[in-house]
Structure 1
Amino acid sequence: MVVLYNLIEAASIMSAENSHRSVDAIRAVSRQLVRELGFMGGDFGGTDLPPSAVHALIEIEGGGVSARDLAMRLRLEKSSISRMLRKLVEAGAVQEEAGSEDGRVKRLSLTEAGRKRVEAIHAFARAQVSGALGRLGPGQDHTVLEGLRLYAEALGATPAARPVAPVATIVSGYRPGLIARITAMHALHYARTSGFGQRFESVVAAGLAEFCDRLGNPGNEIWAAMQGNEIVGSIAIDGEDMGAGTAHLRWFIVEDALRGSGCGKRLLDGALAFADEKGFCETHLWTFSGLDAARHLYETRGFVLAEESPGTQWGKEVREQRFVRRRQ
C-alpha cells in the first residue's frame, strides 16, 4: 500500500508539473502573439490607431451598436469608450444618431471615410494572416483555427468575463404572435444592419404567414427561442417549397442580446437534426454576402456555397447566396 501511495503521489506531482509547464508555455506564446500583432505599439492593423479603436471600428461596421454595446463587447469602462468615440467622431470616421426606439441611445455608424478605413484594416489583416498561413504546412491552418477557437471560447467561459443572458428555451410549433414577432425581429435587424425596408418586411410577413398555414404537413416545422413569454429567436424547416427530398431552412434569427450565448447554434442544430430525421437528402438556405458570422456557423454545420449572383428579392440589390448541406 505504501508503494502504491508513493506511485500515486509521484504521478500527481508529475501531472501538476506538466500542467504548470503547459500554462507557462501558453502564456509565453500569447505574449509573442500580442507582440507580433502589434498590440504593444507601432502599426496595429496597418493604422496609426490604438488596438481598442481598431476593434471599435470593426464592431461598429456590423451595425446597430451603441456606446454601451461597445463597452460590453470590448470590456472597457464607459469613460474610456466616450473618449475613444469622441476622437473617432472628430476624425470623421464615426457618426452618432439618435435611436429610433429611444432617442437617448445613440446608434453608431461608419462614415464613408470610416468605411474606407475599415476596408483597409481588413485588407491589411487578411494579408497578415495569409502570409503567416502560407508559411505553414498542409492542413496546419485548420489546426491553428481550431486551437485559437477553443482557447478563445475557454477564456470567454469565465463567469466574470461577460454578462450572462437568461437561458432561452427552444419550443416548436405555432403560438399566438409568432408571425408578427418573427417579422418584426427580421425587419428591425436588417433595416439597421443592411438598409432593408418595406419590401423586405412584406416578403418576410407574407412568406411566414403562408408557411404557418402548412405547419400541419409532414416535413414542416418551426421553432422559437423563448425567454419567459417573449420570442427572442426563430428558425424553420420548410419541407415542401423546394421539391421532394429538399428541405428549406428559413427565418433563422436571434435577438442581439442572445448573440454569442449559443442560442443560435441550438436552434440551427435542432432544425438540421429534424431535417435529417425526416430523410431530406439536402437542406438549402438563401442569404446574402457580408454576413460573415452566420456564414461561418453554416459552414461548421456542413453547408457549402452553391450559387451566388446579384438579386433584389429583398427590395435592395445584394449578392444573394444559396448554401447547400447534404444529409449527415
Structure 2
Amino acid sequence: MTTTDVLMIERIRDVSRRLVRELGFMETTLAGADLSPSAVHAIIEIGAGRATNARDLTQVLRLEKSTISRLMKNLIADGYLTEQRDDCDTRMKRLELTERGQACLAGITDYAIDQVAGAISSLSTREAATIAKGLETYAAALAGLTEQSSQAVQATISQGYRPGIVGRMLQMHAEYYARTVGFGSAFETRLATDMGTFFSRLENEANGFWVADMDGLPVGTIAIDGEDLGKGIAHLRWFITAEGLRGQGIGKRLIDTALRFADSRGMRETRLWTFQGLDAAKHLYERVGFELVEEKLGQQWGSEVLEQQFLRVMPPHT
C-alpha cells in the first residue's frame, strides 16, 4: 500500500465519520422521529417496498434475525406495522405500514429532504451532482465487499420454463411498476400478452430465459428475445429481482448470464427498454456496457413516463 493509498483511506474514513455524526446516527433517535435508527430504516425500506417480510429486512439492514424479530415486534406493538400471511408464500408474513407508519414515513422523508436540501443549497448543480455520484460509487463499493457472503451466493440460476413461472414473474413486475411508476391493469394485461407470445416460441435457439431461485422460491428472472427486433439483435426483457434482494448480486448474475448467451449466439447488439427514475437498474446496465441511446415520452403502459432505450454492442473477439 502506497503513501497515497494510506492518505486517501484516511480521508475517506474521516469523512465517513463526519457523515455519521452530521446525519444524526450518534443520537438515540433519527430523522426527527421518536424511533431508533434501525426502526427508522425499517420503516423506510418497508414503505419503499424493498422489504416486505422479516427475511428482507434482515438482508437489507444487515442485522441479526433476533434483532429484526425484536424490532418488528416493537413496531407492530406501537402501531407502525401490520403483519399478514403472504398469499403467494404462506411461509412468509407480509409487512405493511399502518396509517401511523405512513405518517411517520412522511415525516422522516420531509425531514431528510429538508436536511439534504439545506446542505446543498449553497452548492452549484454540478457540485451537488458530483456529491451524489461519489456517494453512489462509494456505497456500491462497500456493498461489493459483502457480495460474496450475501444471499446472492445461495441463489441458484437455472434456464428454461417451469410451471407457474409466468405468473410469478408477472406478479413481481406488476407490483413493482405499480408502486414505482403507477402502472395498473393496462400494463399488466399487455405484459401478460407479451410474455405468453414469448414463451410460445422459447424453443427457438435465439431465445433464452433464466430464473434465480432461493429456498425453492423464484426471486429473479431475465430473458433474451432473439427474434422480435430482427436478426442479430437481442432484446433483453423481464429483468427483475424480488423486493429486499436488490443490491445483493442476484441481478448482476442474471444479466451476466443473459449477455453471455446473447454473445454466444453472435448477437451484434443487445437492446432494452426501461423508464426514467429506475436508477439502480440504470447503473447496473451501464456497468455491463449498455449506453442510453434514446428517450421519449410514452403512454402505452397506462400512464405517461419517459421511456429510455439502452444499447450494448457485442464486445470484439467474443
TM-score normalised according to structure 2 size: 0.70
Kindly indicate whether residue 36 of structure 2 is the aligned counterpart of residue 40 of structure 1.
no
Kindly indicate whether residue 241 of structure 2 is the aligned counterpart of residue 254 of structure 1.
yes
Cα 1:212–1:84 change in 2 (3 A) is closer
Q: CA RMSD in A?
A: 4.4
Question: Could you tell me whether the CA contact under 8 Å between 1:224 and 1:235 is conserved in 2?
Answer: yes
Cα 1:249–1:119 change in 2 (3 A) is farther
Question: Could you tell me whether the CA contact under 8 Å between 2:224 and 2:235 is conserved in 1?
Answer: yes
Cα shift at 1:98: 1.9
Q: Deviations over 1:154-188 (max 9, x none)?
A: 4334459953433667677xx342x7414323325
Match of 1:95 in 2: 82
Kindly indicate whether residue 47 of structure 2 is the aligned counterpart of residue 23 of structure 1.
no
Match of 1:307 in 2: 297
Matched letter for residue 63 of structure 2: L
Cα shift at 1:211: 1.9
Is 25-34 or 203-212 further displaced after alignment? 203-212
Question: Could you tell me whether the CA contact under 8 Å between 2:186 and 2:301 is conserved in 1?
Answer: no
Of 294, 307, 310 in structure 2, the residue corresponding to residue 325 of structure 1 is 310
Matches of 1:47 and 1:108 in 2, distance apart?
20
Cα 1:155–1:205 change in 2 (3 A) is same
Match of 1:187 in 2: 171
Cα 1:305–1:162 change in 2 (3 A) is farther
Which is greater in Rg? 1
Match of 1:129 in 2: 116
Q: Deviations over 1:239-292 (max 9, x none)?
A: 6657899875422123457532333234446657849x7456x945256x8856
Kindly indicate whether residue 108 of structure 2 is the aligned counterpart of residue 118 of structure 1.
no
Cα 1:224–1:247 change in 2 (3 A) is closer
Match of 1:208 in 2: 195
Aligned length: 303
Cα shift at 1:31: 1.4
Of 31, 34, 40 in structure 2, the residue corresponding to residue 54 of structure 1 is 40
Question: Could you tell me whether the CA contact under 8 Å between 2:147 and 2:249 is conserved in 1?
Answer: no
Q: Percent sequence identity over matched residues?
A: 39
Could you say what secondary structure the match of 1:165 adopts? helix
Of 282, 285, 289 in structure 1, the residue corresponding to residue 273 of structure 2 is 285
Cα 1:319–1:291 change in 2 (3 A) is farther
Cα shift at 1:60: 0.8
Match of 1:80 in 2: 67
| 5+ long unaligned stretches in structure 2 | 314-318
Cα 1:118–1:217 change in 2 (3 A) is same
Matches of 1:221 and 1:167 in 2, distance apart?
26
Cα shift at 1:32: 0.8
Matches of 2:300 and 2:11 in 1, distance apart?
48
Match of 1:106 in 2: 93
Is 83-92 or 104-113 further displaced after alignment? 83-92
Q: Deviations over 1:197-242 (max 9, x none)?
A: 9987665443223123445779x63331456998653323446657
Cα shift at 1:37: 0.7
Is 163-172 or 318-327 further displaced after alignment? 163-172
Could you say what secondary structure the match of 1:250 adopts? strand
Kindly indicate whether residue 249 of structure 2 is the aligned counterpart of residue 265 of structure 1.
no
Match of 2:140 in 1: 153
Matches of 2:89 and 2:218 in 1, distance apart?
21
Cα 1:226–1:108 change in 2 (3 A) is closer
Cα 1:241–1:122 change in 2 (3 A) is farther
Is 163-172 or 93-102 further displaced after alignment? 163-172
Cα shift at 1:108: 0.6
Matches of 2:304 and 2:249 in 1, distance apart?
28
Matches of 2:115 and 2:232 in 1, distance apart?
43
Question: Could you tell me whether the CA contact under 8 Å between 1:237 and 1:248 is conserved in 2?
Answer: yes
Could you say what secondary structure the match of 1:48 adopts? coil
Matches of 2:40 and 2:4 in 1, distance apart?
37
Match of 2:210 in 1: 224
Question: Could you tell me whether the CA contact under 8 Å between 1:93 and 1:113 is conserved in 2?
Answer: yes
